[in-house]
Structure 1
Amino acid sequence: MKITSLEIIKVPPSWVWLKIHTDTEHFGLGEPYLENHPETVIAEVNRLEPFLIGEDPTQVEKLWKVMYESGNGYFGGPIKLSAISGIDMALWDLAGKAAGVPVYQMLGGKIFDRIKVYRATGGQLPWAVEPGQPYSAGKPPQTNLKANDPEIYREAARNLVEEWGYRALKMHVSPGDGLEATSSVDQLAEFFAAGKEGTIEGGRNVGVDHVDLAIDIHNPNPAIGRQLIDALAPHRPLFIEEPMPLERVDGLAQAIEGTNATIAAGERWMGKHIFFDALSRGLLSVVQPDIAHAGGITETKKIAIMAEAAYAKLAIHCPLSPLAFAAAIQVDACTPNFLVQEHNEVNDTRPTEGCFAGQTVIGAGFFKEPFAMDPAGFVSTPEGPGLGVELDPEGMEKIMAMPWQSARG
């Protein structure tokens, strides 16, 4: 089997997919994408294509190295590694299809039959959009609750647990990178406390003893990060995500000095080396490589192995399309230190009829068999070859007729 061509597919609302063609009936799908930079990643995929034509797509490690080392000594970076990530997913998809087994089987075999999924929560009630629409095409249900009131955070979390079926959530707050944010630290901790009350109430109403709640504080100044960690730690979040600017690992060390909170980071770190730097210093409880940016399945699995040796858990960052989510599930399923899997709320649907009525479904319209969440908040690990998903021709026809935009949907 030899690679014959690479095809870019712009999938609404804003995704970029890649289809690797071969001289056989097999093809592979991946997602080479960087938020709000689609055309530059597409250009990098086109630059890398000549290195792949005529090669055996099952030699994934060899091709990964060739792509990474191309460029006259310039390794890594978000553009190159996002392109490599999407190509890598497609290569693993091809390798699995050629062997007739899921990717996780080629990475050591399945540990988890089901994968726990979490969703974003915050200061708005949740809503769903049609497959292929951006999240902004919908709007939150009307409520008498006011914005920036702890009660809206409580109600959003309760709703997602009680009505949508989630058993893990992550709250998002954005204090900014200025020192002025010190005046909002106590309020943001109050929002989190209210969200936690919502998870407890929602769980109690459906007979669930515990719901995980994490928080992403979105890269504040390290001084503000320390203040937020101190304010949040007594509420025992599952993890506190990225309490520092992303550029410097020593900034993470400054932000978390003296804390016993569980700290997560890594969604915009490219490649294994920076993760090694953070893990070797004992700075992380949770690693969050983005499978579409950090180097694909190949590199994400290596990061997970390093994390296991450092007693850290894996929670793959995944705010993109259901295809990246499917790739992440393959790594999750064979990773002993897996914690929980993120997904993008734009991919949620809530069918009112049919076999999925009343469930939260991820990837409807994109896949023939989308990921349906069970009452415990898990999705089943697919059994099919490669990434384990097959495109839904009817659904994709409707999606592809919708507008595509360069800003992430």
Structure 2
Amino acid sequence: MKITDLELIAVGIPRHTGFVNKHVIVKLHTDEGVEGIGEMSDFSHLPKYALDLEDLTMGLKSILIGQNPFNIIKINKEMLDNFPEAMYYYEKGSFVRSGIDMALYDLCGKYLGVSAAELLGGRIKEKIKVCYPIFRHRFAEEVDENIEVVRKRVEQGFDVFRLYAGKNIEADEMFLERFTKEFGSKARIKSFDFSHLLGWKEANMAIKRLNKYEVGLEMIESPAHRNDFDGLAQIRLKVDYPISEHIWSDRQQYELIKKDSIDIFNISPVFIGGLTGAKKAAHVAEAAGKGCVLGTTQELSIGTAAMAHLGASLINLNYTSDPTGPELYTADVVKDKVVYEKGYLLVPSRDIDGLGMELDESKIEKYRVDDLKWGETSVHQLQDRTSQKKN
């Protein structure tokens, strides 16, 4: 079997906040009529430059056409040579590599009649505990909005939440006080996610202020500036919770292990460049005696299904994970979205082939966009995916 063609289709899917995220749907065609689909998830983040979709399509065709899709390692090596790691977790080359790798697993799974989880080593779980994100408070008036988000999601079955913290500590405190009073044992906060906004000393002071609220924390996420391995090691010694950090390159993971900077590796295919890289990062974490959590950039159902297959195959996935992207959007591009049940992401059935997602062409046409440009969109909007009114 050989790859004969590639299609990239940009779509803009609105969030419930009003912000429109742009993603790229991947279609790989073969000489045997089997098609693989993937997702280059969430180009709506910094850095602000936009890829030229036509040029990207031509470049990827030059790498992929004529290849045997089962040569996943070889293709990943060639993709990495053309879209190298940049030590930054929103590097868009990683998004590109992830979308292609995802489509390869979907294609090979369909050809063999097995699910992607089987290609990743087999599944050891059928569902993955997940949390719903509470986005960063910039203003005190946003506390009411976020409490209402929790109310709605608790009714839906979610009982674990992740708080993006550190921009407005006073507002974070107001939220946590109301959260504990209103929800009590009905819900808990998995983590305070500082997203590299603060230096480790500032983050440590913020944690001391927020830690007075009993919310069931599992971890503290990204409580230092990007690639500050020493800072992470320092704060790890000063707080009572495990420290987690996203993995976005082999070199970065090596440095984190070398300096014993963290306890939990936050692994997401989109940041590390695909399912292949994510699986490798999880094995490295296991060898280092570290736990894992599945991270997210808030994918659509294709990308989320891929993470479900990955998580189903991981021995050291021992914390609440993050992939709830499809619940943040008002629409999707597949016929049947991934399923959440009582706060769990269900792994697609063993009876499906590949990723288990089927495109809805009418939805793709409805949400198709011409490019990935962002123009005058503000930094705050790109960081937190907020609407114009909150700029």
| Aligned counterpart for 1:214 among listed residues 179, 188, 191 | 191
Residue 130 of structure 2 aligns to a residue in which SS?
Answer: strand
CA contact (8 A) 1:9 1:17 kept: yes
Corresponding residue pairs, total:
353
- The CA deviation string for residues 250-294 of structure 1, in whole angstroms up to 9 with x for no partner, is 23223333222122211xx42233123213433323222332131
Q: 1:174: Cα distance to partner?
A: 4.0
1:92 CA drift (Å): 1.2
Please name the residue that 1:246 is paired with: 226
> What's the secondary structure of 2:103's corresponding residue?
helix
2:353 alignment counterpart: 385
Deviates more, 1:109-118 or 1:42-51: 42-51
Q: How far apart are residue 187 of structure 1 and its match?
A: 5.5
Deviations 1:94-113 (A, max 9, x none): 11111111111111111111
- Give the Å deviation of 1:224: 0.6
Range that drifts further, 270-279 or 82-91: 270-279
Contact kept in structure 2, 1:218 and 1:241, CA below 8 Å: yes
Q: Contact conserved, 2:308 with 2:347, CA < 8 A, in 1?
A: yes
2:241 counterpart of 1:261:
yes
**Bigger shift: residues 286-295 or 380-389:** 286-295
SS in structure 1 of the partner of residue 131 of structure 2: strand
2:251 is the alignment partner of 1:273: yes
1:216 CA displacement:
1.3
Give the secondary-structure state (helix, strand or coil) at the position aligned to 2:66.
Answer: coil
Contact 2:4-2:66 within 8 A present in 1 as well: yes
* Matched-pair contact (CA < 8 Å) for 2:4–2:31: yes
Kindly indicate whether residue 5 of structure 2 is the aligned counterpart of residue 8 of structure 1: no
Q: Does the CA-based 8 Å contact 1:363-1:371 persist in structure 2?
A: no
**Contact 2:224-2:231 at 8 Å conserved across structures:** yes
Q: Which residue pairs with 1:160 in the alignment? A: 153
- The one-letter amino acid paired with 2:305 is A
Q: Distance between the aligned counterparts of 1:395 and 1:152, measured in 2? A: 29
C-alpha deviation, 1:221, in angstroms? 1.9
SS in 2 for 1:120: strand
Identify if the C-alpha distance between structure 1 residues 45 and 280 changes in structure 2 by more than 3 Å, giving closer, same or farther.
farther
Say if 2:297 is the partner of 1:283: no
Letter in 1 for 2:73: E
Q: Aligned partners of 1:244 and 1:45: how far apart in 2?
A: 37
The answer on whether the counterparts of 1:222 and 1:252 sit within 8 Å (CA) in structure 2 is: yes
Unaligned runs of 5+ in 1: 125-145, 176-183, 204-209, 350-361
- Distance in 2 separating the partners of 1:155 and 1:284: 33
CA contact (8 A) 1:272 1:302 kept: no
**Within the alignment, does 1:327 sit opposite 2:306 as a pair?**
yes
State yes or no: 1:367 paired with 2:334. Answer: yes
Deviation at 1:386, TM superposition (A): 1.1
Aligned residue for 1:104?
117
Q: Distance in 2 between matches of 1:186 and 1:363?
A: 31
Please give the root-mean-square deviation of Cα atoms over the aligned residues, in Å. 3.1
Q: Report the alpha carbon displacement of residue 90 of structure 1 after superposing the two structures with TM.
A: 1.1
Which residue type is aligned with residue 348 of structure 1? E
**For residue 195 of structure 1, what is the amino acid of its counterpart?**
F
State the match for 1:129 in structure 2.
none
Describe the shift of the 1:53–1:315 C-alpha distance in structure 2 as closer, same or farther (beyond 3 A): same
Which segment drifts farther, 92-101 or 277-286?
A: 277-286
How does 1:62-101 map onto structure 2 within 5 Å?
Answer: 62-70=74-82, 76=86, 78-101=91-114
Distance 1:364 1:397 in 2: 13
Output the CA distance in 2 between the equivalents of 1:148 and 1:379: 28
Runs of at least 5 residues in structure 2 that lack an aligned partner in the other structure: 14-21, 375-381, 386-391
Residues 26 and 225 of structure 1: CA distance in aligned 2, closer, same or farther (over 3 Å): same
Task: Give the distance between the partners of 2:136 and 2:182, measured in 1 at CA.
Answer: 12
- Judge conservation of contact 1:233–1:261 (CA < 8 Å) in 2: no
Cα distance in structure 2, aligned partners of 1:42 and 1:341: 35
Report what 1:192 is aligned to: 176
Distance 2:372 2:183 in 1: 35
Identity between Structure 1 and Structure 2 (%): 25
Q: Give CA-to-partner distance per residue, 1:205-250, whole Å, 9 cap, x none.
A: xxxxx64532212211222112123334454522221111113322
Amino acid at match of 2:134: T
Tell me how far 1:70 sits from its aligned partner. 4.2
Matched, 1:21 2:34: no
Asked if 2 retains the 8 angstrom alpha-carbon contact of 1:318 and 1:324, the reply is no
TM-score normalised by length of structure 1: 0.76
The AA in structure 1 aligned to 2:121 is G
Offset from partner CA, 1:296-336 (integer Å, 9 cap, x none): 10011111122223232222223232222121111011112
2:73 maps to 1:61: yes
Deviates more, 1:318-327 or 1:44-53: 44-53
Contact 1:304 1:314 in 2 (8 A): no
**Inter-partner Cα distance in structure 1 for 2:171 and 2:330:** 35
CA drift of 1:84 comes to 1.4
TM-score normalized with structure 2 length: 0.79
Distance 2:330 2:124 in 1: 23
Q: Does the CA-based 8 Å contact 1:329-1:381 persist in structure 2?
A: yes
Give 1:113's aligned residue. Answer: 126
Q: Aligned pair 1:171/2:163, yes or no? A: yes
